[in-house]
Amino acid sequence: MFATRKPNGIISDILQEHPKSTIQVNDSTGILGDYPFFTSGEAINEWQSALVDGMNCYLSTGGNATIKGYYGKAAYSTDTWCVCGKGEYSFYLFCYLKSVIRSINDSFFAGSGLKHLQKDSLLLVNLYIPSEKELRKFNSIVKPAMETMTTLFLETKKLKQQRDFLLPLLMNGQATIAE
């Protein structure tokens, strides 16, 4: 909808940063919780309490650029930069960041050994900021899709738990499948 629009602002105009987490990735290993726990890696672990709610973006701060989005209550690790959009811009911010992930990786990750996200530089990137009317139309399309993704994520989590409970019972003969 906005790819050809002339920039009229910078990312920091619409981005709001959440406080840095105090939870280490290793602390979440093996934890069974009610909330997804986002890390800089590909894995999404679990945590017992939520740090944020709503539509949030979870950006890796080291290695290579990854951006995950989740609509709902969640937690995140110390190596993850959790941000959302100001006002109603959260869905737009996530979609924008996802659309420029290659550029973020190439331009905003630097370092001699392990590369790190250069947050201050990323905040100065020019972008098109939609009007309220455009944003309402955009959100009316994207928000239901993100709600569906959250529902499917939670359903998949429950199915994995059932699989992990039943599979050992089937493997050792404690449970059978009736014909």
**CA angle centred on 91, ends 67 and 64, rounded to 5°:** 10
DSSP string, 33-65: -SEEEE-SSS-EEEESS-SB-SEEEEEE-BSS-
pLDDT value of position 111:
66
pTM: 0.87
Q: Name every residue whose Cβ is closer than 8 Å to that of residue 126 and which is 6 or more positions away in sequence.
A: 7, 9, 10
pLDDT in tens, 1-32: 888 899 999 999 999 999 999 999 999 988 98
pLDDT in tens, 108-139: 887 666 678 889 999 999 999 999 999 999 99
